């Protein structure tokens, strides 16, 4: 069944007419996140009559946004790392920007943009200030950096009118950790930041010949079972365990390849915190780097991998699901919302390479079960996370909260 072409009625949006003419700002630290994750949502808000400004640091993705009378892009450099001088400059620019435009609502995502937006919007007395948590960096930090990151999240929770998490398990975690009270955080719909464009992430768009050519260009045999990872190549994504488990599969004689798609995260003065070069000594591990069309590489793959230590939800998991791929991931908050263990994929304890290898073996040894999980994953994605459903749910929440005019 081609779900992406299945006709569906538009989602009814309670109070949608009250949104016409409303001025909103959507803010994230980097354009990659804002455009790729929320670009279609910004266009949806414009199409229902809202005036939308997207705000982030500069990046090549900005050119992809179809700006016009009710949708524009504002560049304000927001550093990802802790840099007091640059952070102060960004805070002052955001505050001036909010004072000038007097938005009805501002909505931030990502940690640094969340903190600076909360401070600036509070100072500018923006009536409705929202933030969506998409994962907590402090979960994998230690010492003063952990304390500072936790304190930042608590301040975000305090200064905003309302906060959201992109998964129910993350919302419960934040409340249990005392970051903010349970009454002040919720999940819109079934979670995810902005859903999935299932017309884009459609496995039928790639013909058999196209898939063969892509595999051939990467040096991957047509008969090999392909494991794929899409995301930042960094330790907190479970890279060490993934490589270890994959090498175990090769040692056991499985005909498998591993494709890594995404930027190699470099921190601490440009020194890589994951030795990718060592992993690439294995001829059956392939590194592609950042790819603007990850769906092409999901289409040639058989199993999606995400052995992460922390995730807010794992949007890439539902993108893989839309492509009909089952996921082998970790049983952490966030992923437990995106993957139905035993139904749309398999979840294992984090930091456990042997458990990860065992899950891969089960997928490889039982191709019928793997195919069933992939089909179930695509249905699950369509029923809960198709983008038009999620956009309508967010719009309904905006209408509700603007009507209430909640003030802290």
Position 406 scores a pLDDT of 45
Dump pLDDT digits (tens) for 218-266: 999 999 999 999 998 988 899 999 999 999 999 999 999 999 999 887 6
- How confident is residue 270, by pLDDT bands cut at 50, 70 and 90? very low
What mean pLDDT comes out for the span 109-126? 98
Position 15 scores a pLDDT of 73
Position 14 scores a pLDDT of 67
Give the side-chain half-sphere CA count within 13 A for 297: 25
Strand partners, 225: 256
d(CA 402, CA 204): 41
d(CA 246, CA 356): 9
Position 267 scores a pLDDT of 56
Dump pLDDT digits (tens) for 284-310: 999 998 898 999 999 999 999 999 998
What mean pLDDT comes out for the span 164-171? 93
What mean pLDDT comes out for the span 3-15? 57
What are the residues whose beta carbons fall under 8 Å from the beta carbon of 25, sequence distance 6 or more? 52, 53, 54, 55, 74, 98, 101, 103, 105, 106, 107
pTM here is 0.87
- Domains of the chain and any CATH numbers: 3-195+386-404 (3.40.50.2000), 203-385 (3.40.50.2000)
d(CA 125, CA 399): 19
Position 2 scores a pLDDT of 59
d(CA 254, CA 251): 8
Closest residue by Cα to residue 394 from 87, 11, 6, 1: 11
Dump pLDDT digits (tens) for 317-372: 999 999 999 999 999 988 999 999 999 999 999 999 999 999 999 999 999 999 99
Helix (H, G, I), strand (E, B) or coil at 242: helix
Position 268 scores a pLDDT of 46
Dump pLDDT digits (tens) for 20-63: 999 999 999 999 899 999 999 999 999 999 999 999 999 999 99
Strand order in the sheet with 327-330: 285-289, 256-261, 225-230, 303-306, 327-330, 345-348
């Amino acid at each position: 069944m081609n779900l992406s072409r299945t006709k569906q009625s538009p989602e009814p949006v309670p109070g949608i007419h009250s949104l016409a003419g409303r001025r909103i700002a959507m803010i994230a630290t980097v354009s990659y996140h804002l455009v790729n994750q929320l670009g279609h949502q910004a266009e949806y808000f414009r199409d229902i009559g809202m005036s939308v400004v997207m705000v982030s640091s500069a990046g090549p993705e900005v050119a992809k946004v179809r700006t016009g009378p009710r949708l524009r892009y504002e560049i304000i450099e927001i550093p990802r790392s802790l840099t007091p001088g640059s952070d102060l400059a960004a805070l002052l620019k955001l505050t001036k920007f909010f004072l000038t435009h007097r938005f009805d609502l501002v909505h931030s995502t990502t940690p640094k943009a969340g903190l600076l937006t909360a401070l600036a919007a509070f100072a500018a007395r923006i009536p409705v200030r929202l933030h969506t948590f998409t994962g907590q960096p402090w979960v994998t930090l230690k010492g003063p950096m952990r304390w500072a990151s936790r304190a930042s999240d608590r301040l975000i929770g305090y200064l905003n009118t309302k906060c959201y998490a992109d998964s129910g398990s993350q919302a419960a975690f934040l409340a249990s950790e005392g970051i903010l009270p349970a009454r002040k955080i919720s999940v819109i719909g079934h979670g995810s930041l902005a859903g999935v464009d299932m017309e884009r992430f459609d496995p039928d768009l790639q013909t058999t010949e196209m898939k063969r050519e892509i595999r051939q260009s990467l040096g991957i045999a047509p008969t090999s079972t392909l494991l794929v990872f899409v995301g930042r190549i960094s330790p907190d994504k479970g890279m060490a365990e993934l490589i270890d488990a994959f090498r175990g599969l090769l040692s056991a004689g499985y005909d498998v390849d591993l494709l890594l798609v995404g930027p190699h995260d470099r921190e601490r003065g440009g020194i890589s915190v994951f030795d990718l070069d060592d992993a690439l000594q294995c001829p059956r591990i392939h590194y592609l780097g950042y790819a603007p069309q990850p769906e092409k590489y999901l289409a040639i793959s058989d199993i999606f991998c995400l052995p992460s230590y922390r995730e807010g939800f794992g949007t890439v998991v539902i993108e893989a699901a839309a492509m009909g791929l089952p996921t082998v991931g970790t049983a952490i908050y966030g992923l437990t919302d995106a993957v139905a263990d035993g139904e749309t994929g398999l979840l294992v304890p984090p930091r456990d390479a042997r458990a990860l290898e065992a899950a891969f073996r089960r997928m490889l040894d039982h191709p019928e079960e793997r195919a069933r999980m992939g089909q179930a994953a695509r249905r699950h994605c369509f029923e809960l996370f198709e983008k038009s459903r999620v956009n309508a749910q967010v719009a309904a929440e905006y209408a509700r909260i603007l009507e209430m005019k909640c003030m802290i």
